[in-house]
Chains A and B, each alone.
Chain A
Amino acid sequence: MKQFFLASILAGAIALPAFAADYKIIAPANPGGGWDQTARTLQTVMQSEGISGNVQVVNVPGAGGTIGLAQFASQDKGNPNALIVGGYVMVGAILTNKSPVTLKDVTPIARLTGEYEAIVVPASSPFQTFGDLVEALKKDPGAVSWAGGSAGGTDHITVGLIAKEAGVDPKKINYIAYSGGGEALAAILGAQVSAGISGYGEFESQVKAGTLRLLAVSSEERIEGVDAPTIKESGLDVVVENWRMVAAAPGLTDEQKAAVSADVEKLVKSAAWQEQLKTKGWQDTYLSGAAFDEQLAKDVSATEGILKEIGLVE
Chain B
Amino acid sequence: MNTFEFLLQGLLIAAQPMNLLYALIGVTLGTAVGVLPGIGPALTVALLLPVTYQLDPAGSLIMFAGIYYGGMYGGSTTSILLNTPGESASIVTALEGNKMARAGRGGPALATAAIGSFVAGLIATLGLAFIAPYIVKMALIFGPREYFALMVLAFVTVSSAFGDSTLRGLTSLFVGLALAMIGIDQLSGQARLSFGIPDLLDGIEVTTLAVAMFAIGESLYIAAQGDRGPDKIEAVRGSVWMSATDWARSWKPWLRGTAIGFPIGAMPAGGAEIGTFLSYAAEKRLTKHPEEFGNGAIEGVAGPEAANNASAAGTLVPLLTLGLPTTATAAIMLAGFQQYGLQPGPLLFATNPQLVWGLIASLLIANLMLLVLNLPLIGLWVKLLSIPKPWLYAGIMLFATLGTIGANPSVFELGMLLAFGLLGYAMRVFGYPIAPVVVGLILGPLAEQQLRRALSISQGDLTTLVASPVALVLLLIAAAALIVPLILRARGRGQVLSQLAASED
User: Which A residues form the contact surface with B (CB < 8 A)?
Assistant: 5-6, 9-10, 13, 16, 30-33, 36-37, 40, 43-44, 58-63, 66-67, 70-71, 96-100, 142-143, 145, 150-152, 156, 174, 176-180, 182-183, 185-187, 189-190, 192-193, 204-206, 208-209, 211, 279-281, 312
Interface centre among A32, A96, A279, A281, by most chain B C-beta atoms within 10 angstroms, is A32
A9 touching B345 by the CB < 8 A rule? no
List 17 A-B pairs, Cβ < 8 Å.
A13-B409, A40-B46, A62-B198, A63-B184, A67-B198, A96-B190, A156-B189, A174-B456, A178-B186, A190-B141, A190-B143, A192-B144, A193-B457, A205-B323, A205-B344, A205-B346, A279-B338
Partner of A31, one of B141, B332, B456: B332
Residue of B nearest to A58 (CB): B409
- In the complex, the answer to whether B345 meets A279 with C-beta atoms within 8 Å is no
| Interchain CA distance A204-B189 in the complex, whole Å | 27
Contacts of B188 in A (CB 8 A): 151, 177, 312
Q: Which residues of B contact A99 (CB under 8 A)?
A: 198
Residues of A within 8 A of B42 (CB): 30-32
Are B46 and A36 touching (Cβ within 8 A)?
yes
Taking a contact as CB atoms under 8 Å apart, the answer to whether A187 and B143 are in contact is: yes
10 further contact pairs, Cβ within 8 A, besides A208-B345, A279-B340, A280-B338: A31-B331, A151-B185, A177-B187, A190-B140, A192-B143, A205-B345, A206-B322, A206-B345, A209-B345, A209-B347
Report if A145-B190 is in contact (Cβ < 8 Å); known contacts: A67-B202, A186-B140: no
In this complex, what residue of B is CB-closest to A179? B186
Q: Is the CB of A97 within 8 A of B325?
A: no
Within 8 A of A (CB), among B158-207: 184-191, 198-199, 201-202
Q: How far is the CA of A178 from the CA of B456 in the complex (A)?
A: 13
Partner of A174, one of B49, B332, B459: B459
Please, which residue of chain B has its CB at the minimum distance from the CB of A279? Answer: B341
A66 to B159, CA, bound (A): 36
Q: Are B457 and A174 in touch, CB under 8 angstroms?
A: yes
Interface residues of B in 244-302 (CB under 8 A from A): 268-269
**A13 to B404 alpha-carbon distance, docked (Å):** 12
Least CB separation from A145: chain B residue: B457
| Contact with B50, one of A16, A44, A150 (Cβ below 8 angstroms) | A44
10 nearest CB pairs, A to B: A205-B345, A151-B189, A32-B331, A31-B46, A192-B143, A186-B268, A63-B201, A62-B202, A209-B346, A190-B140
CB distance from A77 to the nearest CB of B (A): 17
Q: Which residue of B lies closest to A122 (CB)?
A: B140
Least Cβ distance of B292 to chain A in Å?
37
B27-43 interface code vs A (CB 8 A; 1 in, 0 out):
00000000000000011
Residues A152 and B189 in contact, CB atoms below 8 Å apart: yes
Q: How far is the CA of A99 from the CA of B142 in the complex (A)?
A: 36
In the complex, residue of chain A having the shortest beta-carbon distance to the beta carbon of B141 = A190
Distance of A179 Cα from B453 Cα, bound (Å): 12
A121 CB to closest chain B CB, in angstroms? 15
Task: Verify if B45 is at the interface (C-beta below 8 Å from A).
Answer: yes
Contacts of B324 in A (CB 8 A): 182-183, 185-186
B354 at the interface (CB under 8 A from A): no
Report B-chain residues with C-beta under 8 Å of the C-beta of A63.
184, 198, 201-202
Most buried by A among B42, B142, B322, B414: B322
| B465 neighbours in A (Cβ, 8 Å) | none
Give bound CA distance, A60 to B186, whole Å: 19
Interface members, chain B 297-337 (any A CB < 8 Å)? 318, 322-326, 328-329, 331-332, 334-335
Chain A residues near B318 (CB-CB < 8 A): 182, 186
Chain B contacts of A186 at CB under 8 A?
A: 139-140, 268-269, 318, 322, 324
Say yes or no: A150-B331 contact (C-beta < 8 A), given A71-B410, A279-B339: no
Between A16, A60, A151, A152, the greatest number of chain B beta carbons within 10 A of the residue's beta carbon is seen for A151
Question: CB-CB < 8 A to B50: which residues of A?
Answer: 40, 43-44
How far is B341's CA from A273's CA once the two chains are assembled, in angstroms? 15
Do B201 and A66 have beta carbons less than 8 Å apart? yes
Contact of A59 with B405 in the complex, beta carbons under 8 Å = no
**In the complex, what residues of A have CB within 8 A of residue B459's CB?**
142-143, 174
Bound complex: CA A180 to CA B318 (Å): 14
Closest residue of B by beta carbon distance from A55: B50
Q: Which of A9, A150, A152 has the most CB of B within 10 A?
A: A9
How close is B141's CB to chain A, nearest CB, in angstroms? 7
| Set of chain B residues within 8 Å of A9, measured between Cβ atoms | 401, 405, 414
A279 to B331: give the CA distance in the assembly, Å: 17
Using CB atoms, name the residue of chain B closest to A37.
B335
A6, A63, A180 — most chain B CB neighbours (10 Å): A63
Choose from B49, B191, B198, B328 the contact partner of A70 (Cβ within 8 Å): B198
In the complex, which residue of chain B has the Cβ closest to the Cβ of A209?
B346
How many angstroms between the C-alpha atoms of A238 and B167 in the bound complex?
Answer: 55
CB closest residue in chain A, given B142: A190
On whether A59 and B186 interact (CB within 8 A), knowing A192-B457, A279-B338, the answer reads no
B53: interface (CB < 8 Å): yes
- Residue in B closest to A280 when the chains form the complex, CB atoms: B338
Q: Is the CB of B414 within 8 A of A32?
A: no
| Minimum CB–CB distance for A212 against chain B, Å | 10
| B144 near A151: Cβ-Cβ < 8 Å | no
The CA of A205 and the CA of B202, in the complex, are separated in Å by 31
Q: Contact at B201–A185, with CB atoms within 8 Å?
A: no
Q: What is the distance, in angstroms, from B65's C-beta to the closest C-beta of chain A?
A: 16
Smallest Cβ-Cβ distance to A206: which chain B residue: B345
For B401, what are the chain A residues with a Cβ–Cβ distance below 8 Å? 9
B322 A189 Cβ-Cβ under 8 A: yes
Residues of B within 8 A of A192 (CB): 143-144, 457
CB contacts under 8 Å to A, within B87-115, are none
**Shortest Cβ distance from B343 into A: residue:** A205
- 440-462 of chain B: CB within 8 A of chain A: 453, 456-457, 459
Interface-centre pick from A6, A186, A209 (highest chain B CB count, 10 A): A186
Q: How far is A16 from B405 in the complex, measured between Cα atoms in Å?
A: 11
Q: Tell me the minimal C-beta distance from A100 to chain B in angstroms.
A: 7
- B405 touching A61 by the CB < 8 A rule? no
CB-CB under 8 A from A43, the residues of chain B are 50
Q: Is B411's CB within 8 Å of the partner chain A?
A: yes
Contact check, B457 vs A31: say whether CB atoms are below 8 A apart: no
For residue B9, which residues in chain A have a CB less than 8 angstroms away from its CB?
none
Q: How far is the CA of A174 from the CA of B458 in the complex (A)?
A: 10
Within 8 A of A (CB), among B4-50: 42-43, 45-46, 49-50
Cα–Cα distance between A156 and B190 once the two chains are bound (Å): 14
Among residues of A, the one whose C-beta sits closest to the C-beta of B347 is: A209
Chain A residues, Cβ within 8 Å of B340: 279
CA distance A182 to B271 in the complex (A): 13
Residues of B within 8 A of A32 (CB): 42, 46, 325, 328-329, 331-332, 334-335
Known: A30-B42, A186-B268. A177 touches B143 (CB 8 A): no
